Amino acid sequence: MSSTVELTKENFDQMVSENEFVLIDFWAEWCPPCRQFAPVYEKAAADNPDLVFGKVDTEAQPELAAAFEVQSIPTLMIIRDQVAVFAQPGALPAPVLEDLIGQARNLDMDEVRKSIATQQGGAQK
């Protein structure tokens, strides 16, 4: 059984709003780097059962790929507390993915939100 969840435009918002930490792999069947990254992503999902690992098939869900301005695949995105904290194209080696998950787990989301508010033109009080 897969440890990942297929994300679609129908379930995407619910998955992101109901889960504090969501990783998303934007991929396509025809993409060799996507197929290379898939077992790495599946293993990370199995190793981190407390997190949601989603997959967006960019061929079946072009609206989601467009909404997140995915230009190349695979693209990995991490969403914490409904805030995208990481997005990068390219297949990652397992140690890099694990390190990235650890860094995202350790983020102070209050600081992240303050930083975003500042970047958007003035800190919110």
Which is the catalytic residue, given 31, 38, 40, 65? 31
26 among known catalytic residues: no
Which is the catalytic residue, given 34, 51, 78, 91? 34
Element containing residue 41 per DSSP (H, E): helix 32-47
98 among known catalytic residues: no
Residue tagged 């397992």 (tokens): 94
Burial 35-54 (b: 16+ CB within 10 A, else e): eebbebbbebbeebeebbbb
Tell me which residues are annotated as active site: 31, 34
